[in-house]
Amino acid sequence: LFLEFDKDCLGAASIAQVHRAVLADGREVAVKVQRPNVVPMLLGDVANLKSFSLKLRDKLPVDYYTVFSELGRALEYELDFLHEAQAAEKVVAAVSHTTSGIAAPPSIKVPLPIKGLASTRVMVMEYIKGTPLSKLKEEMERRGLDANSPESKLLGRRLLKALTEAYARMIFGSGFVHGDPHPGNIFIMEGGAPALIDCGQVKQLPTSFRKKLAESVVTVARYIQAFEKGDQAACRDLVPELADAVRMFGVTVNDEVRENGRVAEDECLAAVALLLFGTPEVDLPGGYSHSELSNESPIKKIGSFPQELVMLGR
């Protein structure tokens, strides 16, 4: 099957590790191999976390049971590489079409699985030559490149534009979304083109959810524009709209906030909307903090948070 198979792995994580190999037909590939006995161990860990968070639900500042339930659902799929192979095909299709469903060149590269070479625990896929975003600064220093140079900043803007376009197509087009775009899964290939790997965590968003999301993003954009113009009156007027935007998803506040009246509730929910879909440069209503670890984080004032928003919030 393989002409070459590198013994040393390219990368390793809690679920699997990846090796470079060359198929008998000469194609360079990446082989993802699941760790032995990892399925019962990880599913057991999640079950314990769900049990603890359910029992301590009234004592914790955030409803972690909802979070762990969504992560547990995603993990079951992530542990099945046949599911990941199918998900990769769907992500490629999603980024290769506009939000109107018209075929268009993708803004990012997503490696496809090799036909017939996937099982529940092993998957062979296209090999991506490049540097993960998490190691890009080190690679630039090794090559003697300045991370603050105009060329580097241009690369950053192009990367942001490519990822924004890709996620706009996924979210508002097919609704099939790659749910784990951390810096280790984003690669910069030779020439500066980006790639997105690891389709183990994905989410299918229903049409009704995407419509609500679009309305929320538009309202957040209006608030940001008003904030940047220094129009405090417009910002205040938009707080109830922002609050209603996240209410549509089923987000609620806890009793402490609710007892302080409608204005306090609206400010808290508006802060959640801006935290999810806004930028750190915009001050949150009600004096709330962008830091999720702060006692002033609106996240700590939430009563309920729908599972659909957990992965999208990431």
- The catalytic residues are 180
Give 295's contacts (C-beta < 8 A, 6+ positions apart): none
> What is the separation of C-alpha 91 from the centre of its chain, rounded to a whole number of angstroms?
13
**Owner of token pair 């049971």:** 65
DSSP H or E segment with residue 177: strand 176-178
CA distances from 278 to 142, 216, 283 (A): 35, 10, 10
Distance (Å, whole) CA 264 – CA 276:
19
Distance (Å, whole) CA 95 – CA 87:
12
Confirm if 202 and 77 have CB atoms less than 8 A apart: yes
Helix axes 262-277, 207-229, angle to 10 degrees: 100
